[in-house]
Chains A and B, each alone.
Chain A
Amino acid sequence: MKRVLLAASIALLAITATAGARSLAVPTKQPGKLIVGFDLPAPAFWNGRATGTTIKNPSGFEYALSQAIAKKLGISKVQYLRAPFGGLFSPAPKKFDFAFEEVTITAERAKVVSFSTGYFDANQGVLIRKGLKKPTSLAALKSLQLCAQSSTTGLAYIQHKLRPKKKPLVYSASSTAAFDAVEAGKCDALILDVPIVASQARKKPGAYGGVAGQIVTNEHYGAVMEKGSKLKPYLDRAIKALIANGTIKRLVTKWLLNPIPPVLK
């Protein structure tokens, strides 16, 4: 009996020691604390209210994912820091450990920041205006007045892959202006990350014609880190574990895509 108890307590000690050791070993900017970057608006990814440099009452897909990752890394303290999207790809040192800002992994961006392994398949979604006949193929998109948000992969797709007849309307700053344009009928369809358009369509059902479909672009969202961050292997391991055990799929269905739009070919 004593032997069993001894063995059990040694095992328990070992587990807690490694858990503690794990959190100490994780190379965050401030030991024992994880600083996660976010930006608003990002409905369904980050809900809640920004205040000062942080966020109140947070919820949403990326919020929930960051909490799950912290648990996987064995870190109990998580701080949320507003990191404006416009400054993410500057060579400046980052004040966060990693940032979840619906950022698509690209080779150009990877030159200035480090990405985690992908945590979400970032297809482009097609949000159409009310009254438009639903396009059912990529070819049908070519004759529409499209719009996009500047510096996004959606815009890049339109300009380099799709090459429609009419030049797309481009909106800077946030996505709100682009959504307004669709609602006002100024453009026929907005090409933007599918979860973003899906959540917007869900929020304001009467304003748009719905999500006509998604375009497979073989792109993925990755967490943004300082170039050469030592956190990368730890983060990658955590993300892969969460994919493997189905956590991410569960969070996607809960917060983002329900139902899943058809793929346009």
Chain B
Amino acid sequence: MGKFLHAFFSPLGFRHAVPQVWDGFQTNIKLMVIAEILVLFFALGFAIVRGLPGRATWPLRVLAVAYTDFFRGTPLILVAYVWGLGIPAIHAGIISNQSLFTYGVISLTLVYTAYVTEVYRAGIESVHPSQRMAARSLGLTYAQTLRYVVLPQAIRRVVPPLLNDFIGLQKDTAIITVIGVTEALAQAGFYSSDYFLYVGYTVAAVFFVILTIPFARFTDRLIKQRELRERAQLV
């Protein structure tokens, strides 16, 4: 037991490990911020495509469904391997010539866009059809209705599940270590091989938790605010 505590929680080890793991954690933060921004935009695009009316857009909708099905079903680690090891090998010009960090961002974005698309879709569908009916009746086009009436309401509603998915994304940046990006988990591994202590992993875990706790609390607060507002309306 003492050995376990020493291996994972040695205070001196902590002090040594923190700067090294922090060095790597900054890469996790960069991965996460860039991926989150890309996901927000791409997922909105896919969600809108999924809802397009008419027969002419059917192929687009099928593609969007195929995309979400595929990337929700494929483990992120596989996607990362394909991009980190496979794509460079196919000699496809500029696509094959990016940094491992870029491939990490691409992998995270591909997978999480699929999840967040579904979140947006649920939000859009939760807006009562009478809203769309009222807007179209005023002479607003499909696109104007989406932009001014449906999406503002939809997005407001799905902020909690969006934040939840982003907490997942933040933790999954650690997976990008497998393609050789020097992030927190990699540094923890290097530390452990140099000093024979697993304290580096503990430090990495602490960093991740510190990062996600504010998100979790913020999400809880939003949910509570929404509940209060809805209860007030019933009264």
Per the CB under 8 Å rule, do A and B touch in the complex?
A: yes
Query: Interface of A with B (CB < 8 Å)?
Result: 39-41, 43, 49-53, 82-84, 86-87, 90-93, 173-176, 203-204, 207
A93 close to B186 (CB less than 8 A): no
Q: Does B13 contact A (CB under 8 A)?
A: no
Q: Does B227 contact A (CB under 8 A)?
A: no
The residues of B that contact A203 with a CB separation of less than 8 Å are 196
B91 close to A43 (CB less than 8 A): no
A87: which of B20, B23, B179 is its contact (CB, 8 Å)? B179
A53: which of B178, B182, B187, B189 is its contact (CB, 8 Å)? B182
Contact size class for B? 20 to 34
Count how many pairs of residues, one from A and one from B, have CB atoms less than 8 Å apart in the complex. 63
The residues of B that contact A51 with a CB separation of less than 8 Å are 23, 182
**Contact (A176, B192) CB under 8 Å given A49-B20, A82-B182:** yes
Give bound CA distance, A92 to B86, whole Å.
Answer: 8
A50 close to B96 (CB less than 8 A): no
Instruction: Name 6 interchain pairs, CB-CB below 8 A, sorted by A.
Output: A40-B193, A43-B193, A49-B20, A84-B100, A174-B189, A203-B196
Query: Interface of B with A (CB < 8 Å)?
Result: 20, 23, 27, 84-86, 88-89, 91, 96-97, 99-100, 178-180, 182, 186-187, 189-190, 192-194, 196
The residues of B that contact A40 with a CB separation of less than 8 Å are 190, 193
B88: which of A43, A52, A93, A175 is its contact (CB, 8 Å)? A93
The residues of A that contact B192 with a CB separation of less than 8 Å are 176
The residues of B that contact A204 with a CB separation of less than 8 Å are 196
B85 close to A92 (CB less than 8 A): yes
Give bound CA distance, A51 to B84, whole Å.
Answer: 19
Give the secondary structure class of A's interface. loop
A93 close to B91 (CB less than 8 A): yes
Give bound CA distance, A40 to B177, whole Å.
Answer: 12
B187 close to A174 (CB less than 8 A): no
B180 close to A86 (CB less than 8 A): yes
The residues of A that contact B100 with a CB separation of less than 8 Å are 53, 84
Give bound CA distance, A8 to B25, whole Å.
Answer: 57
**CB-based closest 9 A-B pairs:** A84-B180, A92-B88, A41-B193, A92-B89, A91-B89, A90-B89, A176-B193, A40-B190, A50-B182
Least distance between A200 CB and chain B CB atoms (Å):
9
Least distance between A135 CB and chain B CB atoms (Å):
25
The residues of A that contact B89 with a CB separation of less than 8 Å are 90-92
Give bound CA distance, A40 to B96, whole Å.
Answer: 24
